[in-house]
Structure 1
Amino acid sequence: MTTKPSALDPAVTERIGAFLRAHGLRRMASRIAVLAVLEPVNGHLSVAEISQRLRECLPAGTPPPDLATIYRTVTTLVEQGVLHALTLENGVTTYGLATDPHHHAVCTRCGSIIEVPAQQLTSALEHAMAGSSFSLSERAGLTLHGLCPQCQAEGQEPRIQPRQR
């Protein structure tokens, strides 16, 4: 039986600490822990999911950061451009690494989030903006709604959720 390496092993901690310093941020245990959990996800997690994964990866007897600390940490990391936030239609905010520019595709059935590289939608955005006086910021993003590959394979119909006004 092989054991999964901890997300907080010394090599990961050192690498993420160097990443934080390169972004002009102090190397704090809560920041390192949150980034160590989000890094392998290649997607988004809510604060509750981050907290759960931290509890699972911390060594036995090590108390995880409380929810307030995780909220403060993700807020700071969003403000500093390290993470970005995506608020879903159900009001839950999820957080992902602010790596290459991208948009999001959200499954209306299971709620999974797939990141779509920005260059795949560049011409569509340019076409949509042509002739209007509206200008998109560099951080603008689209959220597309549909079925993820797994739900498509299961033959499930999209669940249309009513828009709230």
Structure 2
Amino acid sequence: MSKMSKPVNWTAQRRAVFDIVQASHDHPTATDIMERLSASGHRYAYATVYNALRYLTEKGLLKEVKIGESASRYDANTSDHAHVVCVRCGAIAEFEQAPPAPWMDEIARGTGYRVLSAELVFHGVCPACQGKTDDPTDSGAAAR
């Protein structure tokens, strides 16, 4: 069954939250979404935004992106794709690359699991941070 086949009860709040995430390319956190809603004239409680995010995620309209210990981020691109995270500033970029089917098959054979989905996260230094040399602990400089 397709994720999109579930009926959606669109409220004004859910639509506003969805529209903010859909227009964003930076995978906003709930706090980011609250700030953007406020800047556009909406005044919603945090609970309303969190409930809308949970509902839209459960309906398959948004994807929750959880990377390490950081706050959850939200993505309107629900297709299989990978993310790359900057180890300096935390910026996230995505690219349309699903995990190769042989990987999924091998993991299923090796574990006995029926693999349903996968999330790939790569770590690196974004273009904006590459020119900065203020981080002496950046071991990636030698690899460039």
1:141 aligns with 2:119: yes
- The equivalent of 2:142 in structure 1 is none
Query: What are the within-5 Å matches in structure 2 for residues 34-73 of structure 1?
Result: 34-58=17-41, 63-73=42-52
Instruction: Give the unaligned 5+ runs of structure 1.
Output: 1-20, 161-165
Q: Partners in 1 of 2:125 and 2:55 — Cα distance? A: 32
Q: In the TM superposition, what whole-angstrom CA distance separates every residue of 1:96-121 from its partner, at most 9, and x where no partner exists?
A: 114321111111111111112124x5
Distance in 2, Cα, partners of 1:86 & 1:133: 24
State the TM-score, normalizing by the size of structure 2. 0.77
| Structure 1 residue 75, shift from structure 2 partner | 0.6
Q: Deviations over 1:11-43 (max 9, x none)?
A: xxxxxxxxxx97520121111111111112124
Distance 2:138 2:39 in 1: 32
Residues of 2 paired with 1:109 and 1:131: CA distance? 37
Describe the superposition over 1:139-160 as per-residue Cα deviations: whole angstroms up to 9, x where unpaired.
3111111111211133465758
Post-superposition shift, 1:90? Answer: 3.2
Cα deviations by residue, 1:40-64 (Å, 9 ceiling, x for unpaired)? 2124111000000011112xxxx51
Q: Which TM-score applies when normalising by structure 1?
A: 0.68
Identity %: 26
Measured on the aligned residues, the alpha-carbon RMSD in Å equals 2.9
8 Å CA contact 2:60, 2:78 repeated in 1: no
2:130 aligned to which of 129, 132, 152: 152
Aligned residues: 135
